[in-house]
Chain A
Amino acid sequence: MPIELKMPALSPTMEEGTLSKWLVKEGDTVKSGDILAEIETDKATMEFEAVDEGTVTKILIAEGSDGVKVGTVIAMIAGEDEDASAPSEPAKPAAEAPKAEAKADAAVPAPEGGEVSNQMPTAARALVAAVADTRDDLEVPAGTELVKMTVREALKEAMAEEMRSDDRIFVMGEEVAEYQGAYKVTQGLLAEFGPKRVIDTPITEYGFAGIGTGAAMAGLRPIVEFMTFNFAMQAIDHIINSAAKTNYMSGGQMRCPIVFRGPNGAAARVGAQHSQNYAPWYASVPGLIVIAPYSAADAKGLLKAAIRSNDPVVFLENELLYGQSFDVPKLDDYVLPIGKARIVKEGKDVTLVSYTIGVGVALEAAKKLAEDGIDAEVIDLRTIRPLDRQTVLKSLAKTNRMVVVEEGWPTCSVASEIMALAMEEGFDDLDAPVLRVTNIDVPLPYAANLETEALLKVGDVIEAAKKVCYK
């Protein structure tokens, strides 16, 4: 039997990739360890090694092909004792997979049946399932052109645009320069701005967060990237004790205009130490601004605002959202106000309050609730501190019912804060207790079934919404 070489999953979140380059051609003999191809994933360009020995009989996906789904057969290898001269085809032909002569930009559909055969099971995928349904009613001048852009591209554009206009801005962090970003968010910045302004650091979060903080105190505008916010635990002393309190402790004399940014929250199957939402931690600290956007447009507009802010900003991104595409206005300088929530979907029966990846879950729930005749309003908080209390309370006054949807733990959460707000300032508007739907109160487990159980679920949001509507 000839051996099928399939498009590999090279990262926890990879669904598809680009077959950048073949390093072998048909007829070549390969042995294990030989580099067969370069594959560009959502995170990086990686080398694809041979595991089996034999002769490459057929290359099925041309180099340069985009959107090759994980699991697609990309080439065939004949084993040593097989007749390599006999043309071989995949056992189950990948239905529409383009042949080697396909155009470089051809989008490659998934293998037969549209099902990805060896995709890693993870509940994380469900969290971003609603992205495609997101309709952004952006507050932009009529006639503004919208372009589809991933959250990752939007973040990079925000940094690049701001760096072009202000020499004091620099980016530092692990793998931000030559590696092009652990999650490719800083891709291309080194080429444009050079090593003085795009700085690879050693793996020393406490140290480089402190160096960034000191540089900000002295008048620069650092963007400090944490590979993930889990690692910022090593640096949280500088974020809180050094950056957040400086302006106050100095009686307004010494400022600290710095952005701490990076992915936050659960990713896909990365286990307990790499899966935590820190929004409630930072949101409890006076002196910090905490932003956690959902869409690409908000990511761009709010990161630009964060960089311009004269206060220290914790900017919480989400790995699962990096590769998701949204409409982004094509404007020279798209900056959004910090501290303003956005009503993502209007409704009259119940308010679903969420932020970052939870917004997609809330939107998905709202869609299904509509089928049952419940018209849900969805609020994306966008900024967690300062919280846009007015937008939340106004919506509560309209719907009289509220459910908070949060990808994070329930205890001392942003949800807890919204519930307290509703009690203290919206009590007379409440027709039912406010409920929260969150992750389960355990460290995030690895096993796919347990992970599914632990993470925020659309079904639970629907159930909670029905409960507060007494339906």
Chain B
Amino acid sequence: MAKAASAGIPRAQAAAPPAVSKVSTPAGIGNRERPDEPKAYAASKEEMLEFYRQMLLIRRFEEKAGQLYGLGLIGGFCHLYIGQEAVAVGLQSALTVGRDSVVTGYRDHGHMLAYGIDPNVIMAELTGRAAGISKGKGGSMHMFSVEHGFYGGHGIVGAQVSIGAGLGFKHKYAEDGGLALVYFGDGAANQGQVYESFNMAELWKLPVIFVIENNQYAMGTSVNRASAEDQLYRRGESFRIPGIQVDGMDVLAVRGAAEEAKAWVQAGKGPILLELKTYRYRGHSMSDPAKYRSREEVQSVRDKSDPIDHLAKLLEGEGVSADELKALDKDIRKIVADSAAFAEESPEPDLSELYTNVLVDTY
């Protein structure tokens, strides 16, 4: 397994125990069947390049979004995914678009890009334009693509977990072979409805991969200031949902865990819980006071654990030159610049759109 890309991820606050380096298995749950320990995904060079491209697209897209926010082109809340790219790319590369469903909270740009949704319509939604994926009526937190099986984009912390269990319910009910991938954060992991959903998902053996993206902070509250059991992969134990802790800064480790989780769920064994240890470089939203962690802490993760740098090193080992990666970055910067231009130049929604889509039918 690609070792310890997460070695530099701090556990917030002084009493930090040693950083988690790899998958853990909870002890003491008897003879229940458990998924195998995931192995790092054996990616081909082409696959690694594609992961790199996708992660870089998310990184550059989010940097641009942050910039547009600063220019006043994006309003309200805007939650950036910088630092967490390996999670979305590693997990969603294992899914089948159109068969499997994905649902997430409000930090959703990266999950959409990882599912192949056009950056232009995402950026245009951020700027509130008619060409946005929700016609400009959803905004950063509320984007959907039913065509892709991407079900949002939800602003109430934890609500997507029950909704995601409902997506899994549909796959089982319709016997369509699909599964639901349900993202939530370490903050949402303390919401009551998460456990109501765990209970029913296991009771009814729903094909759901629950994914806790543990980026260490719920807004400004660190995991161990908010969670009595801070090993979040264990949170499914009392529902008999097996949990796996994964290095979320290593895309190949993430993809390996995704394969294991997919196999478990598709075998009809019910849901599984993955805890992805990751880190958010930017603030919770654009108006983050950054008082709850030190600049050194953030810089240390960037220097030691960056998921993109990590993959770049692996690619170099595969004989991909720095120039090739630079050229790829240039292409991506162009895509992102074009999406920003598209988002800026597209007209705002027609005022008549105010009244449309409230109801589907006419009464």
Whether B142 lies near A214 (C-beta < 8 A) is no
> Chain A residue with minimal CB distance to B164?
A214
Most buried by A among B101, B359, B360: B359
Whether B360 lies near A215 (C-beta < 8 A) is no
Whether B156 lies near A207 (C-beta < 8 A) is no
Whether A218 lies near B167 (C-beta < 8 A) is yes
Cβ of B357 under 8 Å from chain A: yes
Least CB distance from B105 to A in Å reads: 12
Whether B152 lies near A254 (C-beta < 8 A) is yes
The answer to whether A311 and B170 touch (CB under 8 A), given A242-B154, A250-B152, is: no
Cβ of B199 under 8 Å from chain A: yes
Least CB distance from B130 to A in Å reads: 9
Q: How far is the CA of A410 from the CA of B161 in the complex (A)?
A: 37
Of A69-77, A122-130, A147-155, A196-204, the one with at least 4 CB within 8 A of chain B: A196-204
Instruction: Name B136-173 residues within 8 Å CB distance of A.
Output: 136-138, 142-146, 151-156, 159, 161-167, 169-171, 173
Q: How far is the CA of A77 from the CA of B150 in the complex (A)?
A: 68
Whether B359 lies near A287 (C-beta < 8 A) is yes
Instruction: Name A253-272 residues within 8 Å CB distance of B.
Output: 253-255, 257
Whether A238 lies near B159 (C-beta < 8 A) is yes
Cβ of A339 under 8 Å from chain B: yes
Cβ of A141 under 8 Å from chain B: no
Of B66-74, B190-198, B314-322, the one with at least 4 CB within 8 A of chain A: B190-198
Interface size class of A (residues with CB under 8 A): 35 or more
Which applies to chain B's interface (DSSP): helix, strand, loop or mixed? mixed
Least CB distance from B149 to A in Å reads: 9
Cβ of A100 under 8 Å from chain B: no
Give the chain A neighbours of B154 by CB distance below 8 A. Answer: 242
Cβ of A338 under 8 Å from chain B: yes
Q: How far is the CA of A229 from the CA of B152 in the complex (A)?
A: 27
Indicate which residue in A207, A220, A337 contacts B170 across the interface (CB closer than 8 Å): A220
Give the chain A neighbours of B122 by CB distance below 8 A. Answer: none
Q: How far is the CA of A237 from the CA of B358 in the complex (A)?
A: 18
Instruction: Name A210-230 residues within 8 Å CB distance of B.
Output: 210-220
Give the chain A neighbours of B356 by CB distance below 8 A. Answer: 252
Indicate which residue in A206, A214, A252, A383 contacts B151 across the interface (CB closer than 8 Å): A214
Q: How far is the CA of A241 from the CA of B157 in the complex (A)?
A: 11
> Chain A residue with minimal CB distance to B149?
A218
Indicate which residue in A210, A237, A242, A337 contacts B165 across the interface (CB closer than 8 Å): A210
Whether A215 lies near B173 (C-beta < 8 A) is yes
Whether B196 lies near A207 (C-beta < 8 A) is yes
Q: How far is the CA of A214 from the CA of B180 in the complex (A)?
A: 11
Cβ of B200 under 8 Å from chain A: yes
Most buried by A among B153, B161, B196: B196
Whether A214 lies near B192 (C-beta < 8 A) is no
Give the chain A neighbours of B192 by CB distance below 8 A. Answer: 206
Give the chain A neighbours of B146 by CB distance below 8 A. Answer: 250, 253-254
Give the chain B neighbours of A253 by CB distance below 8 A. Answer: 133-134, 144-146
Give the chain B neighbours of A207 by CB distance below 8 A. Answer: 162, 165, 193, 196-197, 199-200
Q: How far is the CA of A206 from the CA of B144 in the complex (A)?
A: 22
Cβ of A386 under 8 Å from chain B: yes
User: A264-282 toward B: CB 8 Å interface, digit per residue (1/0)?
Assistant: 0000000000000000000
Whether B199 lies near A204 (C-beta < 8 A) is yes
Cβ of A251 under 8 Å from chain B: yes
Whether A255 lies near B360 (C-beta < 8 A) is yes
> Chain A residue with minimal CB distance to B182?
A214
Cβ of A249 under 8 Å from chain B: yes
Whether B200 lies near A214 (C-beta < 8 A) is no
Whether B138 lies near A250 (C-beta < 8 A) is yes
Cβ of A94 under 8 Å from chain B: no
Q: How far is the CA of A112 from the CA of B61 in the complex (A)?
A: 83
Cβ of B323 under 8 Å from chain A: no
Q: How far is the CA of A227 from the CA of B132 in the complex (A)?
A: 41
Cβ of B114 under 8 Å from chain A: no
Give the chain B neighbours of A11 by CB distance below 8 A. Answer: none
23 of the cross-chain contacts (CB-CB < 8 Å) are A170-B173, A201-B200, A204-B193, A207-B165, A207-B196, A208-B162, A211-B163, A211-B166, A214-B151, A214-B164, A215-B166, A215-B167, A219-B174, A238-B159, A241-B156, A242-B163, A247-B359, A249-B138, A250-B143, A251-B132, A254-B144, A254-B146, A311-B361
Closest 7 CB pairs of A and B: A214-B166, A210-B162, A207-B196, A251-B135, A339-B363, A218-B170, A214-B163
* Apart from A206-B192, A215-B166, A251-B135, 7 more pairs, CB < 8 Å: A207-B200, A210-B163, A211-B163, A211-B200, A237-B159, A250-B152, A251-B133
